[in-house]
């Protein structure tokens, strides 16, 4: 956001993990590579990871002016591998920078990087497959593994994007057809696959190549850039800089990074930009990276439960209800759990979860009474003692600390003891007056901090415990929260719960009531009924549970609860389930805010990711509720439309800006509903190394092994619901400032079409405040120059928009108009939009949409010297003298009895030979 709009200083602390990649001097450390539990133990895989990164370090060092290299890397192997490995500290699969997993359902063995944020911001992770690392047949198409690693590293660390575009492999610039690349010095030839054979590209009646036309680069190139275009060629040794950058190329780097060169983003806009501007290049090659192979075994957790007098009444009851659900349904089999109190009592030693008996045994040890005051430090020390019981170590073990303590006895020594123990300390603050030290402890140990209200209707304490599901990369072990809902009921509380085809095992309906048990009636999709005789009732905890036997039936389950009380009471329903099959991951939801811990901004970007085994779920309705300690809940309808806060359309990540800012602590809960849902093929393709089908070697086309065909089929899921709770965060707005006003968000998906003399623009509507509300007006301008529109928008040619009324944010906009002159054939136009709100605050200028307009020839089948000249003029801008030269070359070739197609190898005439080839084909077919 421009500084002129930063009226209010917003200090946002995203209370999440503090680990991550660090640039220590010239060397990168704390890089975590995690191997998925589904991958079999294989020492060769570890060796290939080491070899790839060691070679990549040398390549990176050269590419970035001898300034940076990979210094220290951790390889996290699965818990089921039996070798002897160092114990992981706080590294987990879900926080890894690079993951090694089986082929992506949509992209196979193709390396890619998951990017969910804006240009210059770090990505989520890089995805490699065992096949890519172990089988050499992929090297010819993607390039040496070290080069691919650096390509993906640039996505991951510096937030840059690809310089190629598979959907638009060419573009028009200065009336020449160029490959979508960086730089423009790239040389090669154009081919398309016709009836199973690669032939020179066909051209339509406008003189443009067909959509199937692809560029095949020369194996030897006259330039050293660029790694983000073709990292697989030996020539690619640097990142594209401004002096050679193709700002008009329709690639993601231009679209997402405001037409900046890759190197510019790395040195000016990335997380490392300040360091890179001050680092001194090393005078000698760096040492190879140091590798540590680490492992996390089964989870070990200790619950610290506050039993002080301040927890009496509803609070201790909510504690019992929430921890009972955690122990009975959420924690996975094989984990170890211990329980201590803030009175320093060991309520239960470490107990292995092996079935219902061990779960019930732990539940029976939960505290029933309260007494005394809270001693957080004593509770911490005793929990560390308990965690030592499994193997005399605590490194990497989890603590979940639940308390409402306002004051704390934690001193520096106590905090340092917790930090040095290596535990991951997760904290749940009951009530908004809990001590700030809970946030600090969670942040400094890579734990989670969640603040909850103990009010039954909010159900926040129960929801909070679902944030502590296993994170080892195997979602089939996780308990999935389908529904968390409630009602203040005077009579009936009715509804439906869809159980989709990805879940069904260990399905449980849990009803929590306020006063007296309601009558329970739950009906399956086929009409079977579960009633009072099928439930388990715990009167002390005011809880009713139905454990559905076997695998729950797919479809909509109906529930009816009747309040037999003469007065209204609160009734809560929680429905959980697990994967139906061990080899079919369930649909999962992850939610949070995209802001980093160091971010100081007037914006909070809320997101929710919905997917099944990397495949996004599209078309869902996602509602996020942000509840502050000041009692101001805000509900946002999150969208996956590639506009506003949402970076990419149809990537399964639904986003929205939160602009109604008030000082306070916030928690976040999302609910997802999908009617007749389906896992579909997404139009979004993540950033990744380019697959090259072949190269030009000594003038001949040399093909790589074909890319495996896509075998994905859309899967009908039926109705789907999910609920998830994110980590809590803090907003601090100076009290002496007026409420913040925000401009409309930047339009990022502007497109243009020209039919005859009519121009049609399409885009997604921004809002009054970023992507909220409705903007007041649009300003549309155009130019024949991209640079003019970017740098001098207000002086570009205006379009009359008096009849254009903005729609609500997120709506599809379309506007057609006539330019006030006859559009000349072969003309290139650039268009941009700026929106304005009621406070006269303007958005940034949109992405620039450009088009070159061609008029179809009326004599395309009757080729003559005139039509040949016309085609050459349209496509390559050749003058009459060049046309005459081309014909002379053609006649010369005929006299030499050479095949007319040899002309296509004449590189000095650029694109002309390929246009000429089409015309020659017509001439030859007519015997002229």
CB neighbourhood size of 57 (10 A): 25
Per DSSP (E only), the strands in 439-585 are 449-452, 480-489, 492-499, 503-513, 519-523, 529-530, 536-538, 543-547, 555-562, 569-579
What lies within 8 Å, CB to CB, of 692 at 6+ separation is 141, 142, 216, 217, 230, 232, 704
How far is CA 696 from its chain centroid? 36
- Whether residue 360 is preceded by a cis peptide bond, meaning omega within 30 degrees of 0, is no
CA 522, CA 510: separation in Å to the nearest integer?
11
Residue 15, φ and ψ in degrees, nearest 5: -80, 70
Nearest alpha carbon to residue 182 among 169, 166, 163: 163
Which one-letter DSSP state was computed for residue 393? Answer: -
- Would you call 669 exposed, middle or buried from its count of C-beta atoms within 10 A (0-12, 13-18, 19+)? buried
Question: Token digits for 696?
Answer: 């030009």
> What is the b/e burial string over 21-37, where b = at least 16 CB atoms within 10 angstroms of the residue's CB?
bebeebbbbbbbbbbbb
Which pairs from 432-435 meet CB under 8 Å and 24+ separation?
Answer: 432/629, 432/664, 432/665, 433/404, 433/406, 434/403, 434/404, 434/405, 434/406, 435/376, 435/405, 435/406, 435/407, 435/408
What lies within 8 Å, CB to CB, of 435 at 6+ separation is 376, 405, 406, 407, 408, 429
CA 523, CA 509: separation in Å to the nearest integer?
12
Do 652 and 608 form a contact (C-beta atoms < 8 A)?
no
Do 851 and 829 form a contact (C-beta atoms < 8 A)?
yes
Sign for the CA dihedral angle at 383, 386, 388, 391 comes to negative
Question: Token digits for 92?
Answer: 């987990």
Partners of 555 in beta bridges: 499
CA 128, CA 339: separation in Å to the nearest integer?
39
CA 253, CA 392: separation in Å to the nearest integer?
51
How far is CA 382 from its chain centroid? 39
Do 723 and 484 form a contact (C-beta atoms < 8 A)?
yes
What order do you get walking across the sheet with 31-35 strand by strand?
Answer: 86-87, 290-295, 72-77, 31-35, 98-100, 125-128, 112-114, 687-688
CA 880, CA 200: separation in Å to the nearest integer?
25
Among 152, 514, 779, 914, the active-site one is 152
CA 928, CA 925: separation in Å to the nearest integer?
8
What lies within 8 Å, CB to CB, of 756 at 6+ separation is none
Q: Which residue has the tokens 């996290």?
A: 76
Question: Token digits for 576?
Answer: 């959980």
CA 610, CA 722: separation in Å to the nearest integer?
9
Do 186 and 179 form a contact (C-beta atoms < 8 A)?
yes
- Tell me the chain's radius of gyration from C-alpha atoms: 31
CA 421, CA 409: separation in Å to the nearest integer?
19
Q: Is position 152 annotated as part of the catalytic site? A: yes
Which one-letter DSSP state was computed for residue 320? Answer: H
- Residues with a catalytic annotation lie at 152
């Amino acid at each position: 956001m421009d500084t002129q709009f930063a009226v209010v200083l917003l200090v946002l602390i995203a209370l999440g993990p503090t680990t991550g990649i660090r640039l220590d001097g010239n060397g990168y450390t704390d890089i975590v590579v995690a191997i998925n539990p589904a991958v079999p133990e294989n020492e060769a895989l570890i060796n290939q990871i080491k070899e790839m990164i060691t070679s990549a370090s040398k390549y990176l060092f050269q590419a970035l002016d001898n300034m940076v290299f990979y210094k220290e890397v951790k390889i996290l192997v699965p818990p089921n591998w039996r070798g002897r490995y160092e114990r992981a500290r706080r590294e987990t699969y879900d926080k890894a920078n690079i993951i090694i997993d089986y082929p992506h359902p949509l992209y196979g063995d193709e390396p890619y990087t998951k990017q969910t944020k804006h240009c210059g911001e770090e990505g989520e992770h890089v995805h490699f497959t065992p096949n890519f690392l172990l089988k050499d047949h992929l090297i010819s198409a993607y390039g040496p593994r070290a080069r691919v690693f650096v390509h993906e590293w640039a996505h991951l660390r510096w937030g840059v994007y690809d310089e190629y575009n598979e959907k638009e492999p060419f573009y028009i610039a200065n009336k020449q057809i160029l490959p979508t690349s960086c730089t423009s010095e790239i040389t090669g030839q154009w081919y398309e696959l016709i009836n199973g054979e690669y032939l020179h590209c066909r051209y339509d009646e406008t003189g443009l190549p067909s959509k199937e036309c692809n560029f095949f680069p020369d194996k030897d190139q006259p330039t050293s850039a660029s790694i983000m275009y073709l990292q697989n060629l030996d020539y690619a040794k640097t990142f594209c800089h401004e002096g050679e950058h193709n700002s008009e190329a329709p690639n993601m780097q231009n679209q997402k990074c405001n037409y900046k060169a890759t190197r510019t983003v790395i040195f000016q806009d990335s997380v490392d930009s300040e360091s890179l501007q001050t680092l001194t290049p090393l005078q000698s090659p760096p040492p190879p990276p140091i590798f540590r192979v680490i492992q996390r075994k089964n989870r070990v957790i200790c619950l610290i439960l506050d039993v002080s007098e301040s927890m009496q009444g509803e609070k201790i009851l909510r504690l019992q209800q929430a921890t009972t659900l955690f122990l009975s349904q959420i924690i996975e089999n094989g984990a170890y759990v211990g329980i201590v109190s803030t009175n320093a009592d060991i309520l239960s030693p470490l107990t292995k979860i092996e079935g219902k008996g061990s779960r019930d045994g732990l539940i029976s040890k939960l505290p029933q009474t309260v007494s005394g005051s809270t001693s957080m430090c004593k509770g911490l020390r005793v929990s560390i003692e308990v965690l030592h019981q499994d193997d005399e170590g605590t490194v990497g073990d989890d603590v979940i600390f639940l308390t409402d303590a306002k004051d704390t006895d934690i001193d520096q020594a106590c905090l340092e003891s917790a930090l040095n123990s290596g535990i991951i300390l997760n904290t749940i603050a009951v009530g908004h007056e809990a001590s700030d030290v809970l946030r600090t402890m969670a942040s400094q140990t890579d734990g989670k901090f969640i603040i909850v209200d103990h009010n039954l209707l909010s159900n926040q304490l129960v929801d909070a415990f679902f944030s502590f599901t296993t994170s080892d990369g195997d979602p089939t072990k996780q308990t999935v929260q389908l529904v968390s809902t409630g009602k203040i009921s005077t009579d009936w509380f009715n509804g439906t719960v869809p159980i989709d085809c990805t879940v069904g095992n260990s399905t449980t309906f849990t009803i929590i009531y306020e006063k007296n048990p309601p009558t329970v009636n739950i009906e399956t999709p086929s009409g079977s009924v579960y009633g009072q005789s099928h439930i388990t009732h715990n009167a002390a905890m005011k809880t009713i549970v139905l454990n559905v036997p076997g695998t729950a039936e797919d479809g909509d389950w109906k529930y009816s609860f009747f309040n037999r009380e003469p007065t209204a009471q609160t009734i809560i329903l929680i429905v959980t389930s697990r994967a139906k099959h061990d080899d079919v991951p369930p649909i999962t939801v992850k939610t949070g805010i995209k802001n980093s811990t160091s971010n100081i901004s007037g914006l909070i970007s809320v997101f929710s990711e919905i997917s099944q085994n990397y495949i996004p779920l599209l078309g869902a309705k996602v509602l996020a509720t942000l509840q502050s300690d000041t009692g101001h809940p805000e509900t946002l309808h999150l969208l996956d439309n590639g506009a506003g806060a949402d970076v990419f359309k149809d990537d399964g990540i639904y986003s929205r800006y939160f602009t109604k800012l008030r000082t306070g602590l916030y928690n976040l809960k999302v609910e997802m509903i999908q009617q007749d849902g389906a896992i579909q093929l997404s139009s979004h393709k993540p950033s990744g190394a380019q697959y090259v089908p072949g190269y030009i070697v000594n003038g001949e086309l040399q093909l790589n092994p074909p890319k495996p065909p896509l075998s994905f089929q859309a899967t009908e899921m039926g109705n789907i619901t999910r609920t998830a709770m994110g980590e809590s965060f803090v907003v601090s707005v100076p009290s002496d400032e007026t409420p913040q006003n925000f401009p409309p968000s930047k339009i990022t998906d502007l497109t243009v079409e020209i039919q005859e003399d009519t121009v049609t623009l399409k885009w997604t509507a921004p809002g009054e405040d970023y992507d909220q509300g409705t903007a007041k007006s649009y300003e549309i301008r155009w130019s024949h120059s991209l640079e003019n529109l970017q740098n001098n928008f207000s002086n570009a040619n205006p379009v009359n928009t008096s009849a254009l009324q903005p729609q609500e944010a997120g709506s599809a906009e379309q506007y057609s108009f006539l330019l006030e002159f006859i559009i000349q054939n072969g003309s290139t136009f650039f268009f941009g939009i700026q929106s304005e709100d009621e406070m006269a605050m303007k958005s940034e200028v949109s992405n620039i949409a450009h088009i070159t307009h061609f008029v179809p020839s009326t004599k395309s089948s009757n080729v003559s010297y005139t039509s040949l000249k016309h085609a050459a003029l349209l496509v390559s801008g050749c003058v009459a003298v060049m046309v005459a030269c081309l014909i002379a070359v053609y006649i010369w070739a005929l006299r030499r009895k050479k095949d007319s197609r040899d002309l296509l190898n004449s590189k000095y005439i650029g694109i002309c030979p390929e246009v000429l080839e089409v015309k020659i084909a017509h001439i030859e077919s007519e015997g002229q």
